[in-house]
Amino acid sequence: MENMEQKFQEYARLLVEVGVNIQKGQNLMIACPVDCAWFARLCAKAAYAAGCREVVMNWRDDALTREKYLNAAEDVFDTTPQWQADMLNGYARERLAAIPDLRFIGAGDAPHILSVSLPGYPSQNIVSDLDAKGIFISAGSACHRGRASHVLTAMGLDKRTAAGTVRVSFGPETTREDVDALAEALAAELFPAAPVPMAAPAPAPVQTSKVPTAPPAAPSLFRRLSAWLKGLWKDGQP
C-alpha cells in the first residue's frame, strides 16, 4: 500500500512538473471530479512544492451536473454568471499571452468576448482550421460581415493585424479545457509542432453579460485519468 502511495505521488509530481510544466510564481487551476479528490490533493501538493503561487480547484460532480440539466430553470443555460465569464476571460488571456506574436485587440471590457490577432495569418483560414478541430470562433469584430471591419479600421490597426483578427466568445458551457484547446490550436497556426507554455497570471477580470452557448468541452485530464487510476488502485482510495 505504501509503495502504491509513493507511485501516485511520483505520478502527480511528473504531471505537474513535466506535463503542465508549472513555473515558480504561476497559478494552477485544476478541474477535477470529486471522486478523484485524493489525487487532486497530491497534484496540488506537488505544484506548491514546485513553486506554484496558488492552486485553485474547480470541483465537479457528474450526479449533480445531471440533476442540473434535468431540473434547473431554462434561463440558467442562457446566461453566463459574471464570476464564470471573468474567470474564463482571465484564464484565456493567461494562456494566449504565451503565444509569440499574438496580439490582444481592444480594451477587453466585454469579458464574454475576447478579440485577438495573429498578424499575417488570414482570419478566415484560422476559423476554418479551428472549425476542423471542433473549435468554433469568428473572424473580425462583432460588426464584421465578410468584409474589412470598420470597427478594426477605426481602431487604427494595420492591415495585417486587422486581417488576422478573430473573436472568441465565452458561454455557460465553456470550460478551461475549451480554452486550453483554443490555445493549443492557435499556437499550432504559428508553430505546428510547438506546445503552448504556461503564462504569467492574467490581468484583473471585468464584467459579463448574456452570451450564446459555447460548444461542449472535451473531458478533463482528471476525468480521463480517473478510470486508469481506479484500475491500479485495487484496495480502495487512499
Same domain, yes or no, for 67 and 150?
A: no
Same domain, yes or no, for 141 and 224?
A: no
pLDDT, one tens digit per residue, over 206-236 is 343 333 334 444 444 545 555 555 555 544 4
Same domain, yes or no, for 156 and 114?
A: yes
Same domain, yes or no, for 194 and 89?
A: yes
Same domain, yes or no, for 4 and 112?
A: no
Whole-angstrom Cα distance, residue 102 to residue 187? 9
* Boundaries of domain holding 98: 80-212
Same domain, yes or no, for 86 and 176?
A: yes
- Residue 213: predicted pLDDT: 39
pLDDT, one tens digit per residue, over 33-62 is 999 999 999 999 999 999 999 998 888 898
Same domain, yes or no, for 33 and 19?
A: yes
Same domain, yes or no, for 179 and 145?
A: yes
Number of other residues whose CB lies within 10 A of the CB of residue 176: 18
Same domain, yes or no, for 226 and 169?
A: no
Among 58, 213, 187, smallest CA distance to 133 is for 187
Same domain, yes or no, for 94 and 22?
A: no
Q: Report the number of distinct structural domains present in the chain.
A: 2
Among 201, 199, 214, smallest CA distance to 112 is for 214
The DSSP letter of residue 111 is T
User: Which DSSP helix (H) or strand (E) runs through 60?
Assistant: strand 54-60
Query: Which residue ranges of the chain lie beneath pLDDT 70?
Result: 1-2, 140-151, 153-154, 192-238
- Residue 76: predicted pLDDT: 80
SS (H, E, C) 169-237: ECCCCCCHHHHHHHHHHHHHHHCCCCCCCCCCCCCCCCCCCCCCCCCCCCCCHHHHHHHHHHHHCCCCC
Query: For residue 161, what is the domain's CATH number?
Result: 3.90.1150.10
Whole-angstrom Cα distance, residue 9 to residue 15? 10
